Amino acid sequence: MNSTLKRVSVACLLMFGLLMANVTYIGTVKADGLRTDSRNVRGFYARYAIDRGWITADNGKTTLAKTVDSGDKTFRFEREYPLGKPFTHVVGWFAPESASGIEAAMNRYLDGSHPDLVVRRAIDMVSGKPAKGASVDLTLNTKAQEIAYKDLAGTGKRGAVVALEPKTGKILAMVSVPSYDPNPLAQVNKAKVNAAYNKLDKDDNKPLLNRAIDLTFAPGSTFKTVTSAAYLSDDTSRDENTQVDAPDSLPLPDTNISLPNYHGESCGGRATLVQALTISCNTPFAIMGMDVGYDKLKEQAEKFGVGQPLEIPLGVAASNIGPDEGKAALAKTAIGQQSNQMTPLQMAMVAAGIANQGTVMKPYLVNKIMGPDGAEIDGTDPDELDEAVTPEVAGELTKMMIGVIEHGTGGAAKLPGITVAGKTGTAETLPGKPSHAWFISFAPVEDPKVAVAVFVESGSAGNDATGGAVAAPIAHDVMQAVLGQ
């Protein structure tokens, strides 16, 4: 019987071999798929087993997102957003199956899985403490952020405000309205979160979108600053006092239509650049645009950051002056119409670039990252994006923009005792629809501390909304909030 016993032994060996091979297959090849299967709730549980790092602003003094130890065994650490709506689009939320904003973009620091944190994590593991993530401090100025939100949302407007520190690129404020309370999306109940999310998703006003960076809009007359920059740079003999043609109506080449000035106003046939920008004539800038040509205008826009991929670290929609569609189209592109589409962040970068003597700094939201023990792990160093114009041209543009505040359409942004430079914009949208209202500005001119872009969406501020009437007062309050400290 020994020969058959030996064969049976081999059969037993084979059975164990098969079991071991199969277990190995599951534990290695299949493991990742099984671990991340949406029906495997362990990933969901694991999200709440980590003492997630906080999100702060004002150098750590203001808490925007915090982790609360609920004491519950399965869902121990829950997320709360004490300041709510004004910060939702930047801070984002940490939901059972997804995340947005900084919560998503900085997740690997916040949950401690980033390679920079590996040593601290190993120490926690050995000492048996729950894993603790790093905290992220944002560049936001909470006073400016809250006033911007209050000004926009308080009157039922939709739109966005972006404030930058021109010399560094720090984002001091980034507001999108309408906003929403992030706390319902951070519950540990999947069904409730899905219901809350679906309601927001179906809302016609699209509150989930961050209008400052997710969408692009026609910039209208605020884009005349870019056209002027291209025109001044094209010939160094030009300055703010150079005389340009300013007809009441400009027949567009190869078409039978004419471009008028806003509300058919007259600019007197000839004007200096300062005068043209101050009262925001359309025709001289259309002529300047056609004069420099599509390529140079596009190149100038790109130097301000248009079309450059940005991660702040949130993703930013690409701005674009539109395709080359001939002279008539170029005339409209030069005054911020046609296919010219800019994010509010991009227009803030234009203002900040002019303020910073022509150098555009890369915008960023993360001020520094602090380990669980409070020590700084990493800080963001300001970085140049591009030199948009020479300091001379920047100075000339600044003088033109001071004119807009002192004598022109941007009077509502005047600050007592401080020189402000700015530009209004009232961008036509679809025929028969109300315009978008824009305003970009910076102050103080001598030592710029803040550059702002305010965008108020079509129809949300009445049918006759203009940048000067609707957007400039908001920029005024935001600049005051930043400078008042």
Partner 1 sequence: MTAKRRGAQLGMLAFAVLIVMGAYAGVGLGINGKIPSGMLGYGLGLGGLMLAAYLVLAKWAPWADPLLLPLVTLVNGLGLVMIYRIEQAGQPGASATSQLMWTALGVVMFSATLIVLKDHRTLQRLTYTAGFVGVVLLAIPALLPGSLSEVQGAKIWIRIGGFSIQPGEFAKLALVVFFAGYLVAKRDVLALAGRRLLFIDLPRARDLGPVLITWGFAIATLVLEKDLGTSLLLFGAFIAMLYIATQRTSWVLIGILLFVGGAFLAGQVFSHVEARFNVWLHAEDPALYDAGGGSYQLMQGMFAMGSGGILGTGLGQGYPKLIPLSFSDFIFTATGEELGLTGLMAILMIYALIVERGLRTSLAARDPFTKLLAGGLSFILAWQVFIIVGGVTRLIPLTGLVTPFMSAGGSALLANWMLIALLVRMSDAARRPPPQAIQDEGLTQVMQR
Q: Which is nearer to partner 1, 39 or 202 (CB)?
A: 39
Contact (Cβ atoms closer than 8 angstroms) between residue 380 and residue 361: no
Nearest approach in angstroms of CB 293 to partner 1 is 59
Q: Which residues inside 4-63 make contact with partner 1, applying CB under 8 A?
A: 4-9, 11-13, 15-16, 18-20, 22-24, 26-28, 30-35, 37, 39-42, 45
Nearest approach in angstroms of CB 362 to partner 1 is 40
Nearest approach in angstroms of CB 13 to partner 1 is 8
Contact (Cβ atoms closer than 8 angstroms) between residue 283 and residue 270: no
Q: Which residues inside 269-298 make contact with partner 1, applying CB under 8 A?
A: none
Q: Which is nearer to partner 1, 6 or 199 (CB)?
A: 6
Among 1, 126, 191, 430, binds partner 1 (CB under 8 A): 1
Measured in degrees and rounded to the nearest 5, phi and psi for residue 297 equal -65, -40
Give the integer Cα–Cα distance in Å for 398 and 401.
5
Q: Which is nearer to partner 1, 73 or 202 (CB)?
A: 73
Q: Which is nearer to partner 1, 130 or 156 (CB)?
A: 130
Q: Is 435 a catalytic residue?
A: no
Nearest approach in angstroms of CB 76 to partner 1 is 12
Catalytic residue among 221, 228, 233, 460: 221
From residue 417 to residue 456, what is the string marking binding to partner 1 with x (rule CB under 8 A)? ----------------------------------------
Nearest approach in angstroms of CB 21 to partner 1 is 9
Burial class (CB in 10 A: 0-12, 13-18, 19+), 38: exposed
Tokens of 346: 């991009």
Q: Which residues inside 90-129 make contact with partner 1, applying CB under 8 A?
A: 128
Give the integer Cα–Cα distance in Å for 316 and 210.
10
Contact (Cβ atoms closer than 8 angstroms) between residue 184 and residue 196: yes
Strand order in the sheet with 421-427: 171-177, 159-164, 450-456, 436-443, 421-427
Q: Which is nearer to partner 1, 10 or 195 (CB)?
A: 10
Nearest approach in angstroms of CB 189 to partner 1 is 17
Contact (Cβ atoms closer than 8 angstroms) between residue 462 and residue 397: no
Contact (Cβ atoms closer than 8 angstroms) between residue 436 and residue 458: yes
Nearest approach in angstroms of CB 97 to partner 1 is 16
Give the binding-site size for partner 1 (rule: CB under 8 A): 36
Give the integer Cα–Cα distance in Å for 439 and 435.
13
Q: Which residues inside 248-267 make contact with partner 1, applying CB under 8 A?
A: none
Give the integer Cα–Cα distance in Å for 219 and 437.
9
Q: Which is nearer to partner 1, 30 or 407 (CB)?
A: 30
Q: Which is nearer to partner 1, 14 or 257 (CB)?
A: 14
From residue 304 to residue 343, what is the string marking binding to partner 1 with x (rule CB under 8 A)? ----------------------------------------
| Residues catalogued as catalytic | 221
The residues binding partner 1 (CB under 8 A) are 1-9, 11-13, 15-16, 18-20, 22-24, 26-28, 30-35, 37, 39-42, 45, 128
